[in-house]
Amino acid sequence: MSEWQIMSLAKAGVELLDCVHKTPKAQSNGMPYISIPQMKNGELDPTDARRISHGDFVEWTKKALPKRHDVVLSRRCNPGETAYVRGDFQFALGQNLVLLRSVGNHIAPEFLRWLVRSPGWWENIDKFRNVGAVFDSLRCADVPNFELLIPPLPEQQAIARILSALDDKIELNRRMNETLEAITRAIFKDWFVDFGPTRAKQEGRAAYLPEHLWSLFPEAIDPETGIPTGWKLSRLDELVVLQRGFDLPKSKRQNGNFPVIAASGFNGTHNEYMVEPPGVTTGRSGVLGKVFYIQEKFWPLNTSLWIKQYIDTTPIYAYFLLQNIDFSSFNAGSAVPTLNRNHIHNLFVPKPNIEIIREFSSLAENLFNLQYRNSKSSDDLADLRDRLLPKLMSGEIRVKDAEKLVEEAV
């Protein structure tokens, strides 16, 4: 600890690169334009980012072209929140964001992302925060004056290596889960949307499923209904019954072990639950079209609809069935998008034989159980990372002790 120093970011060689203070025109395809909503849990998620032309990308990156190990800092709305640039990810920087980049000999570039999540960082945020009528903010001129406790470079590199090992495992779990979800979705689409096995039989193509599965599919498509022969076109409420979620004002909520699910997804926890797992929800008000499969006891909020009853179907089949519905066309609201469950109930969907649904569900549940274990593992790893970070940054725990804990966890 005697070699640790308190230094300002400017003295430590951290540059601040400001954004362009205007917004480029959006287009359907192009380079990602990262703004505050794309900063999630210390990472950049470009999934729903605005897309901009190559010309605008060049113009918007003249001042700030992101590089590996850079840190994106939000100056407004949630001042102090950061996300680091993973690998060679290229994007244009949105308004109210800046890049932090280590260019000196005092801070290892890979350590910067952890330094800006330390308790000392947040002490500086509180010190320099400008309180506004609507949003708090940070001034670009103040950030280089942040003073932080800086360990020697070898210690920095060891700390970054330890914490990054946990983050890398979390990222690996996330990617694995995306792959598992994509595989399951592809199977559902082939069997129940494109009717792949039946079309293959009708066209005389070779079987591509095990015999016990292949034999379950009809031999042809019914020319009148457009679905496999023997299947029915049924109203949705002949398969599932949707129910409005339950009120739970913030004032009455108590943190607990049970997730609260809103129209947009996870919305904190509560110490009581209303629905046994597995469960399926979708948005009723505010956000439409998102469908969630919940594998633990949960509380669906009144902004959502949850499946109260499954009729000749299974929760996981119903989850994918709802995912294939365009909910926007059923919007019964005006300023606030709203879904009337009766409109959804009256929708006609193909109803396969229950044996095929059960076979699909068995396959899908195995893949989803693996996803669930990966997610739980990631939660544990994130908890360990968040407990180690302040202790490593303050010198309370030594690197060798932290390495043992990470080896056991990973």
Note the pLDDT of residue 334.
Answer: 64
Question: Mean per-residue pLDDT for 253-272?
Answer: 95
At residue 327, the pLDDT reads 81
Overall average pLDDT of the 38-51 stretch: 93
pLDDT at 313: 95
Cα separation of 340 and 317, whole Å? 22
Q: How confident is the model at residue 1 (pLDDT cuts 50, 70, 90)?
A: low
Q: What is the pLDDT of residue 25?
A: 96
Determine the pLDDT at residue 132: 82
What CA–CA distances, in Å, run from 276 to 306, 313, 380?
11, 17, 23
Spell out a b/e string for 244-277, using b for 16 or more CB atoms within 10 Å of the CB, else e.
bbeebeeeebeeeebbbbbbebebebbeebbbee
Rounded to the nearest integer, the mean pLDDT of the chain is 94
Checking if the pLDDT of 135 tops 90, the result is: no
Cis before 300 (ω within 30): no
d(CA 37, CA 74): 10
Question: What pLDDT, on a 0 to 100 scale, did the predictor assign at position 200?
Answer: 97
The model's confidence at residue 333, banded by pLDDT at 50, 70 and 90, is: low
The H-assigned helical ranges of 116-220 are 119-128, 153-188, 196-202, 211-214
330 pLDDT higher than 80: no
Decide if pLDDT at 73 tops 90: yes
Of 354, 360, 339, 391, which is closest to residue 159 (Cα–Cα)? 391
Distance CA 305, CA 332 (A): 14
- The C-alpha atoms of residue 34 and residue 24 are separated, in whole angstroms, by 11
The model's pLDDT over 169-221, given as tens digits with 9 standing for 90+, comes to 999 999 999 999 999 999 999 999 999 999 999 999 999 999 999 999 999 99
- For residues 216 and 359, the answer to whether their CB atoms sit within 8 Å is yes
pLDDT of residue 41 exceeding 90, the answer is: no
C-alpha distances (whole Å) from 407 to each of 162, 165, 166, 175 are 9, 9, 10, 21
Q: Give the three-state DSSP class for 407.
A: helix
The mean per-residue pLDDT over the stretch 97-121 comes to: 95
Whether 335 shows a pLDDT value over 80: the answer reads: no
